[in-house]
Amino acid sequence: MTAALSIDNLRVTYQGAHGQHVAVQDFSWAVEAGQIACLLGPSGCGKTTVLRTIAGFEPLSAGSIRLGDVLLSSPQIHLPPERRRVGMMFQEYALFPHLTAAQNVAFGLRRWAAADISPRVAEMLTLVGLPDAGRRYPHELSGGQQQRVALARAMAPTPALLLLDEPFSNLDSATRERLSVEVRDILHRAGQTAVLVTHNQAEAHTMADQIRVLGAHS
Ligand code: ADP
Ligand code: MG
């Protein structure tokens, strides 16, 4: 079976004032369809760089990234982010404060047929356990509820792969523990293939079907 995501010998470098800085080197990884795979490692080890490269926001200098049979990135090929079928839920991607929860979820569906949008929004809000929150604004929701709306927004356009970068780090530890279980169950129920990045070992063990430890210099 073809892995949903396969990364082979990835190398990503940044151009700094004092020459090239290698952020990720010789990184290979495979994630099966429907899995929640976790990349665990300390700050600065290159986790966000791997996700940004999968999403198409960073070029790679060696290796390749495939989603199913589609080559997303190689030194010669760079599919633009909007054509990758990759969704993201990043900690810094807060909800739009001036839009309701439903409008936030609909944001990624701008290219959908009008008649399909509101049923999809309702379906996604139900999936994340907030069927009645559509008219509420972010400031009327708790931090955990806001992150569940952000999850609904990321999953609404049916991405083949969902990337989650430290999605719970702005929350208190009780909310964080509860939400990691909830989000794991939501992703499994939807059969969503996902890559979670965290430096929190407990979170990785709660959520992941597969954990890959990224060392400070791997
Ligand atoms: P993590 O998410 O694991 O904390 P990052 O992927 O953000 O790690 O960073 C990996 C390394 O690449 C770090 O040494 C960081 O300083 C460097 N880095 C990250 N982004 C940039 C950038 N835009 N320009 C230059 N260096 C960067
Ligand atoms: Mg990071």
pLDDT at 89: 87
pLDDT digits (tens, 9 = 90+) for 147-206: 999 999 999 999 999 999 998 888 889 988 999 999 999 999 999 999 999 999 999 999
| Average pLDDT of the residues of the chain | 93
Q: Which ligand is nearest to the CA of 57?
A: 1
CA distance 48 to 52: 6
Q: Model-level pTM?
A: 0.93
Residue ranges of the chain with per-residue pLDDT less than 50: 218
The answer, yes or no, to whether any atom of ligand 1 lies below 6 A from the CB of 21, is yes
The answer, yes or no, to whether any atom of ligand 1 lies below 6 A from the CB of 52, is no
Q: Whose CA is nearest to atom 26 of ligand 1?
A: 14
Task: Name the residue of 10, 15, 20, 21 whose CB sits within 8 Å of the most ligand 1 atoms, as the mutation to test its pocket.
Answer: 21
With b for 16 or more beta-carbon neighbours within 10 A and e for fewer, the 15-35 pattern comes to eeeeeeeebbbebebbbeeeb
pLDDT at 115: 96
The answer, yes or no, to whether any atom of ligand 1 lies below 6 A from the CB of 131, is no
How many angstroms does the Cα of residue 57 sit away from the middle of ligand 2?
14
Ligand 1 atom closest to residue 214's alpha carbon, by position in its atom list: 3
Residue 41 carries which side chain, given as an amino acid letter? G
CA distance 139 to 1: 45
Q: Which ligand is nearest to the CA of 12?
A: 1
* Residue 119 contacts residue 177 (beta carbons within 8 Å): no
4: closest CA among 57, 72, 53, 80? 72
Ligand 1 atom closest to residue 42's alpha carbon, by position in its atom list: 3
pLDDT at 101: 97
The answer, yes or no, to whether any atom of ligand 1 lies below 6 A from the CB of 194, is no
Give the DSSP letter string of the chain. Answer: ---SEEEEEEEEEEEETTEEEEEEEEEEEEE-TT-EEEEE--TTSSHHHHHHHHHTSS--SEEEEEETTEEEE-SS-B--GGGS-EEEEETT-PPPTTS-HHHHHHGGGTTS-HHHHHHHHHHHHHHTT-TT-TT--GGGS-HHHHHHHHHHHHHTT--SEEEEESTTTTS-HHHHHHHHHHHHHHHHHHT--EEEEES-HHHHHHH-SEEEE--TT-
Determine if residue 68 is left, alpha or beta; phi over 0 gives left, psi from -120 to 50 gives alpha, anything else beta. Answer: left
pLDDT at 217: 58
Token pair belonging to 183: 């989000």
